[in-house]
Amino acid sequence: MTLLDLSVGQLAFVEKILLGNHGQGLVNRLEAMGIIPDKPIQLLRKAGLGGPLHLRIGSTTEVAMRRSEAQLVQITLGE
């Protein structure tokens, strides 16, 4: 399951980030934003027309992420 599969309001935990077309550079950037294994992440909003996702990482950090990047973040559902 990936971040793109989450419904608005759902909580999940990051499993790992897959290497995509952007390679290790994207993985490093996402990790710098706090998207690391076992970190809680929640989907706050999905923009329409294929726009970005609005995510909360941990308890305070909020970011917007492209859907193509969200497909690379594998997660497990939280409670």
| pLDDT averages per 10-residue partition of the chain, 79 residues | 94 92 87 92 93 94 94 90
CATH among 1.10.760.10, 2.30.30.90, 3.40.50.1700, 3.20.20.70 for 3-77 = 2.30.30.90
| pLDDT in the model for residue 21 | 80
73/8 Cα distance (integer angstroms):
16
What is the enclosing helix (H) or strand (E) of 54?
strand 53-57
CB count within 10 Å of CB 76 equals 10
The domains of the chain are located at 3-77
| pLDDT in the model for residue 17 | 92
